[in-house]
Amino acid sequence: MKYVFNELSTTHIAPSISIAHRWMNTFFEICKQSEIRTKTKISIVTTLKFSALHLHSDTSFTNWVRTIQDVDFRRKILAMVTKDQIKIDYPYYYYENNPCQGLGVAFEKEHISISYGPEYWANHELNITREQFDTDGEVTKDTLKVNHVASMEHLDIYVPIRKFKHNPKHDRVRPIANKDEDVSILECSNEWAFELLCKAVGEITANDKQLFYFDETVGKYIIFYRHADQEYHAYHTNDENEISHSVKEEIARRLKET
């Protein structure tokens, strides 16, 4: 899973070193919890180098990392921050009249943008403007929404804690079916189904109750249905047409990252 760093975060300088450290702690705790909830590695792509970030006049990102006593957490942070910088020359993206390449990348790649300094970034969606030339050479402007996290409350919206509850209807041994009903079976253990649920993806719609993943142990896609309070049951499908092309592509990308 990838987050795109909102480089406009750097326009806000922390009023004290302790607050600067709190911002970084929150920022990377979001990333850490994302890894735990999705059971996938998190990487942060950015238009600038984290090593060059100055959080306060008397401290930098590098100085903050050196204060971390937990060696494993320190290593995890450095592993999350990708070394390659991203760049968009065109089209032009703006947030409140400020150029915002990172937010533009997040929109184009359908990634979530991430900011530090939650006091300044209270919204889980950011409206950005895209400017480009049409075929007649005239400038056109579009207003676009970018998914965004800067707090644990935002994370709960996009990466909620999922729970698995088996539905006996899809049981391998004694499936429950109505007369003449063809019931799909869950072909793995409940424990493994939960592992796959944490990684599962769906269409980018707020009300979608289905998630999907590919179970390499049986060579089939698995479909999860959501009930109340992020609780899901699942079954494997023999019909790949139940999964859209875009979801299959995202699953394939995530499988490559594991």
pLDDT in tens, 163-203: 999 988 888 766 665 655 678 899 999 999 999 999 999 87
Question: What is the pLDDT averaged over residues 27-36?
Answer: 94
pLDDT of residue 119: 93
Exposed/middle/buried for residue 84 (C-beta within 10 Å: 0-12, 13-18, 19+): exposed
pLDDT computed for residue 203 by the predictor: 76
What pLDDT, on the 0 to 100 scale, is given for residue 163?
Answer: 93
C-alpha distances out from residue 218 to 183, 186, 188, 205, 237, Å: 17, 10, 8, 28, 11
Q: Where are the domains of the chain?
A: 2-158, 163-257
Tokens 């929109």 belong to which residue?
Answer: 107
- Residues of the chain with pLDDT > 70, as a percent, come to 93
Q: Grade residue 220 by pLDDT with cuts at 50, 70 and 90.
A: very high
- Cα distance between residue 70 and residue 54, in whole Å: 22
Find the mean pLDDT for residues 153-160.
93
Residue 84 has pLDDT above 90, yes or no: no
- What's the mean per-residue pLDDT of the chain? 90
pLDDT tens-digit series, residues 52-82: 888 988 999 999 999 999 999 999 999 998 6
Residue 204 pLDDT exceeds 60: no
Instruction: Tell me the per-residue pLDDT of 96-138, one tens digit each, with 9 for 90 and over.
Output: 999 999 999 999 988 999 999 999 999 999 999 999 999 888 9
Reference 169, options 237, 233, 212, 242; nearest CA is 233
* pLDDT at residue 148 in the model: 97
